[in-house]
Structure 1
Amino acid sequence: MSLTDRAIEQIRELIRTGALPPGSKLPPEQELSAQLGLSRNLAREAVKALAVARVLEVRRGDGTYVTSLQPSLLLEGLGGAVELMQSDKGALLDLMEVRRLLEPLATALAATRITDDGLAAVKRHLDAMREAREDVERLNSHDAAFHRAVVSATGNESLLTLLEGISGRTLRARIWRGLVDDQAAGRTLAEHEAIYAALSARDFALSQAAALLHVSNTEEWLREHLRTSASLGDDPGSAEDGADLKAS
């Protein structure tokens, strides 16, 4: 472990133990470095690293504060990491596998907790998807919002952040582009309609099954597409693959 890593760990320990709770202000740099037995340079580097990780917030002219430490904040970088992984076929399939493990259960949980307002939000995005059958940008936007509304109904912020992180917008856009070109968009829209119907019935098992069918079909479509791309010698990670390869 480098000296900077040790300094980061020391500050994290202060946060973990409650010595620096969420929203609290860190001591001035000189005092903090003395308290931790660090040089001021090390303390400064540790603070910078923790600020990038959204654990700390540096407010110019005011000082450095511990953030709210909410999951949506701390896991914010996951989506960016996923976007960087999308040139790796194995990583893409791993992400789809994780989605298949998490999303059906999240949808089932949503069925037991969703409010009338939450159900109305899901339906709004489903209706918008139907109207945008051949507009990939709008389909992608409302598809993401549909699933966000479903998982939001669980009231579990960590679960919502994780699922949003692994369902990258670039990947969704490529898949929708491929589905439209392969004339499979209608089938996928029907799968969304089945999820909505199961949620409307507040049926745990049916919601889980509908979501599992949807994610499994998408995963299988992606596997087949990657196999086809490989046989043709295409690179699913290239900058042009959104147009040339249709999905990734």
Structure 2
Amino acid sequence: MKPLSLLILTSLALTGCGANNTPPKTPVPGEKTSAQMRTLETGAQIIQSRPPVDAISAYLDGFHFYNGDKNGQMEAHHYVTVLNDEVMQAVIYDSNTKDARLMGVEYIISERLFNTLPPEEKKLWHSHRYEVKSGSLAAPGLPAAADKALMSKIVNTYGKTWHIWHTDRDKTLPLGIPALMMGFTGEGQLDPALLADRDRRLDVNTSAIKGEREDLVAHPVAEGADAWQRGEVIQLRRVHGSGEHAQGETAHFGTSEQTRKAN
């Protein structure tokens, strides 16, 4: 049997990965790209190598919400790199076209690695069990066999996601500070209109995908994940004084975590 990453790459090449059909909705200020900039871009594409970009091997489409605000929901286009059998990383965009806005990043780790984390760190991570089993996390364009192979690797993993450009809030630039995002864990949480629109655009059938994944082995969610369900919300806030990443006495303004009870 082909290695998982090779299977995914082959499938993507054959199907076109269901992309290039969801343009960004957020305008970007600034002058149109000049002929000089386009020439420089073309030259760089020909001359320079891009190993980290070339390593991206899967396209996943799912949904996130702001930790502490379950009504703040948005679609998230994940472009995933498999680092090894237990660690993946994804760059997240608001669309799947060439001019997509980079919204954030997600780190994905195995259940075994998640269980090694300290309790406070676990609060930052969300489970993928429901997203996979419900079909709301889709791999557009992948044949059923490749989809199942990939999702069998993801169903028992955990993700830590930060969004930096909040395009759902009509921000024309990446304003404000990063936000910790969460994943849905049960029926009735995800806006059905958001899901239906995704299915229409990407030509996927969430109900059918759910049925195909019914026999995937999904473990109970590990203790400590999805802390928002227990009323623990963690987000960044601006504070005076040195932050977590300050060097010596040079920093006078930074960010720190603020934990509060959800309303």
Aligning the two structures, in what range does the TM-score lie when normalised by the shorter sequence? Answer: under 0.3
Pick the structure with greater CA Rg: 1
Higher percent of residues as strand: 2
Higher percent of residues as helix: 1
Q: Give the TM-score taking structure 1 as reference length.
A: 0.22
